[in-house]
Amino acid sequence: MHLDTQTENRVFQEQVEDFLADHLSQELRQAGRRTMGICSPHEASQAWQKILHAKGWAAPSWPADHGGTGWTPMQRHIFATACHLADAPLLAPMGLDLVGPAIIGHGSAAQKAFFLPRILAAEDNWCQGYSEPGSGSDLASLQCRAEADGDDYIINGTKIWTTFAQYANRMFCLVRTSNAGKPQEGISFVLLEMDSPGIPVQPIITMAGNHD
- Cα separation, 181 vs 65, in Å, equals 38
For the domain 126-193, what is the CATH superfamily, name and number?
Answer: Butyryl-CoA Dehydrogenase, subunit A, domain 2 (2.40.110.10)
Is the model's pLDDT at 64 over the cut of 90?
Answer: yes
Tell me the pLDDT tens digit for each residue of 24-56.
999 999 999 998 888 999 999 999 999 999 999
Tell me the pLDDT tens digit for each residue of 144-153.
999 999 989 9
For the whole prediction, is pTM greater than 0.85? yes
Tell me the pLDDT tens digit for each residue of 3-15.
467 889 999 999 9
Among the four given CATH numbers 1.10.540, 1.10.150, 2.20.25, 1.20.1510, the one describing domain 2-91:
1.10.540
Instruction: List the one residue out of 125, 56, 68 whose CA is nearest residue 95.
Output: 125
Q: Which CA distances in Å does 197 have to 45, 102, 192, 201?
A: 28, 26, 11, 12
Tell me the pLDDT tens digit for each residue of 124-141.
999 999 999 988 888 899
